[in-house]
Structure 1
Amino acid sequence: MDTASDREEMFLQAPVACAFLLLCDQLGVPLDEAVRPPAALDLAAGAISDMYPWAGDHEQRKVAVVERAARLRHLVPRLLEHPDSSWWFASLERDRQVWLGTSRDQMQSIEVPSEAPPPREYTPQMPPAYFLTATRYGERTAFHSLLAQWAGDWDPELPLPQADLHVADDARVFEIRSPQDWYELADRYAVVPVERGEPMADRQIFPHWTKVAADWDIVHLSFGGFLLATFVPIAGPLGSARLWTWESESALWLRPCYSDRIEQEPLVGRPRSAFEGVGVRIRHLRTLGGEDARLSERWGGPCRMKARSRRWWRSRGR
């Protein structure tokens, strides 16, 4: 298990965690508020938006946020040791899983991965057909915060069906709380796509989801794991593993393993930002924008980029 000092150091080297910290500072969010939903979830959504992986300056942004967050080092232990941040690294809450999707049929057709390892250009951060839930914190989930902040690549047509799912007691859950946990999953069940002449240092490994599904029913990325692991590579004998397409705290279902399902009223509009009450919408902020970032709420709308049209990027289960 990671110690408090381990997590502090990981936090300061993790681009999304550093973007979270910078946004918290720019917005003047009190720490007592920043560690709790909905503020924490919305800050994380803004952070992943600023670290958008398909942006042309993504690599520069990763370096810059880590460098600029160093001045806020003193805040990290206060965040991680705050009594109200204990949920950040908590195990899957089996009775608080929420599904948002485009068709109720998706709940009837959760697929067990069964495909052969994919070709080189396909980066299997998730199975081709995947089903995701997020944990409910009050009336909010990480998915609601992504929608509220116009973050990520999910831009669905509303209304959206919603349901509460209760995970069966005997479901086997793999927990991701750190970059090392993602590496362990990828290394233990490795797919190693190799190009001729590719240096070992450039070789990426990914989970073979058919093999993962033989041992596990759900892979859960905790909120803290999302902050610490996203975009952070861990190298090993087979190559390097890096989590980079998950956009929030979430649970990836590898088979149907819910004991109860309660359908809720559809989501008819985007949730309100947690920060609208103080006149700032973090979806318009750019952590690399210097002082001009404070004026960015004057922009007419969120800056959006379209994801590459790869099938793994288009969710069939959220």
Structure 2
Amino acid sequence: MKTLPELLLDGPRGRRLCLELAEELNPDVRNAVFRLGYELDPGKGTSTVLFALSSDGPGDSTGPGESPSLEDLAAALRSIDASGLTAAQLAAALECSVRNARYWQEPDGDDVLAALPAIVEAFRPLAERVLATPTWRGWSQPRRPEQWAIDWRSAEDPAPLPRDPQQALSRWAEEIRAEEAQAARDRPESVYANYSGSWWSSPLRLLRTVGAIPAALTLVEDFPGWEEATVIPVYGTGRTFEIQTAEDWIFLCRAYPLDVTASRRHDWFHTTGRDGSWVIPDWQRVAGEWDAVHLTIAGYLNTSGRALKVGRGTASVLAGWDPDSTLWLADAAREADAPRQHWHRDLSEDVWSRVRRPWQ
């Protein structure tokens, strides 16, 4: 039986949340993570370069003084006073964790650092504090009927909500099986090959909704830099499967397995280090039992990005699914009788603001 801190510390995104919080709460942690994370980054010296304002001598790129050790960082983590932890700090740390998720290449240095056993253990007091907050209780709540759909276009380019999920699922099933067959024929045999393809775990054309605006505008994996968003009020009902922990995702994969080994093996090897057979839920079959699947924020932090054992020699990854979002497998959600909203992102401050029309 898992202890409560493991709900946060077993997941890469949960550990990153703790790391971001620790950096905010203790400057010594921030300095140590800056240096140690760089040393562990797979792009060290190439895509990631460390510049220092000063140095102790020729060739020293770490700045003055001795470089921190893992023991120094662990001690700083254990000394953090999180008694004044705020909802705003938790929201900011969650956003950073989501923005740094990547399932098509190796984890960055900070994620590698946060997964080291000594650091995970040092996170425990902070994780316990997070799980005791009202925010965590909110992050664990099931889907509410009131939802929002996000159309990443301006209000001047309106579009209806996606409909006919059965047709979309049928098309998805055909496409993913065709992709899997082609990948088995054409893609490199070695998982070490520099090859990337499909890495997400769910259909892209189905209606997705979120539970909170504007928070959801910042909780987007692999964010492409959108500057406009039309937010559509939605009311949804029906049988909803809740993903609260990794065990819930594993249940779906065991009950409705779909082999995606050939099409996912390169990307998921890079992000998890595991080589073997991979499955995801067969969403067309899931739709026979459930109208929607909701990923809570707690479920996201515990589950996303992990190589989760499904069966003997078989595993799965939940990837490309934003926290507190619902995937609609049936035509059970309707646009509510309320105005759509237009939001704009200020690039200088990376902040979303609602644009109000004269009649609103």
TM-score, normalization by structure 1: 0.70
In structure 1, the residue matched to 2:257 is: 190
Distance 1:265 1:222 in 2: 24
**Structure 1 residue 191, shift from structure 2 partner:** 0.4
Amino acid across the alignment from 2:163: S
Q: Does 1:156 align with 2:231?
A: no
Moved more, 15-24 or 59-68: 59-68
What pairs up with 1:3-152 in 2 under 5 angstroms? 6-28=3-25, 36=87, 39-55=89-105, 57-58=106-107, 61-67=110-116, 68-95=119-146, 97-101=147-151, 102=153, 104-109=158-163, 111-112=165-166, 113-115=169-171, 116=173, 118=176, 119-120=179-180, 121=183, 122-123=198-199, 125-136=201-212, 139-142=213-216, 144-146=217-219, 152=222
Higher relative contact order (Cα pairs below 8 Å, separated by 6+ residues):
1
In structure 2, the residue matched to 1:174 is: 241
Name the SS for the 1:130 alignment partner.
Answer: coil
What pairs up with 1:246-285 in 2 under 5 angstroms? 246-261=321-336, 262-270=338-346
Provide the alpha-carbon RMSD of the alignment.
Answer: 3.0
CA contact (8 A) 2:246 2:303 kept: yes
List 4+ stretches of structure 1 deviating above 6 A. 271-274
Q: Does 1:207 align with 2:288?
A: no
CA contact (8 A) 2:17 2:96 kept: yes
Name the SS for the 1:227 alignment partner.
Answer: helix
Distance 1:11 1:108 in 2: 34
Distance 1:17 1:127 in 2: 24
Percent identical among aligned pairs is 18
Distance 2:101 2:282 in 1: 26
CA distance 1:23–1:69, shift in 2 (3 Å): farther
Q: What are the superposed Cα offsets for residues 65-112 of structure 1, whole Å, 9 maximum, x if unpaired?
A: 1223432211112211224421121111112x1111136434153523
Q: What are the superposed Cα offsets for residues 168-192 of structure 1, whole Å, 9 maximum, x if unpaired?
A: 2xx1101001111111112211101
**Structure 1 residue 140, shift from structure 2 partner:** 2.9
Q: Which runs of 5+ in 1 are unaligned?
A: 275-318
CA contact (8 A) 1:33 1:39 kept: no
Amino acid across the alignment from 1:240: A
Distance 2:20 2:163 in 1: 39
CA distance 1:131–1:258, shift in 2 (3 Å): closer
CA distance 1:20–1:242, shift in 2 (3 Å): same
Distance 2:83 2:239 in 1: 34
What pairs up with 1:273-312 in 2 under 5 angstroms? none
Q: What are the superposed Cα offsets for residues 158-214 of structure 1, whole Å, 9 maximum, x if unpaired?
A: 2x221111112xx1101001111111112211101355xx9x961011111111111
**Structure 1 residue 10, shift from structure 2 partner:** 3.7
Q: What are the superposed Cα offsets for residues 138-175 of structure 1, whole Å, 9 maximum, x if unpaired?
A: x5332x2237xxx62343352x221111112xx11010
| Larger Rg over CA atoms | 2
CA contact (8 A) 2:232 2:335 kept: no
CA contact (8 A) 1:98 1:162 kept: yes
Distance 1:232 1:153 in 2: 20
CA distance 1:42–1:263, shift in 2 (3 Å): farther
In structure 1, the residue matched to 2:30 is: none
CA distance 1:106–1:43, shift in 2 (3 Å): farther
CA distance 1:268–1:191, shift in 2 (3 Å): same
Amino acid across the alignment from 2:140: F
Name the SS for the 2:104 alignment partner.
Answer: coil
**Structure 1 residue 42, shift from structure 2 partner:** 3.1
Distance 2:252 2:104 in 1: 24
CA distance 1:194–1:164, shift in 2 (3 Å): closer
In structure 1, the residue matched to 2:189 is: none
CA contact (8 A) 1:35 1:85 kept: no
Q: What are the superposed Cα offsets for residues 286-307 of structure 1, whole Å, 9 maximum, x if unpaired?
A: xxxxxxxxxxxxxxxxxxxxxx
Distance 1:183 1:59 in 2: 26
Name the SS for the 2:165 alignment partner.
Answer: coil
Distance 1:85 1:175 in 2: 16
CA contact (8 A) 2:15 2:114 kept: yes
Q: How many residue pairs align between the two structures? A: 256
CA contact (8 A) 1:167 1:257 kept: yes
In structure 2, the residue matched to 1:285 is: none
Distance 1:123 1:53 in 2: 6
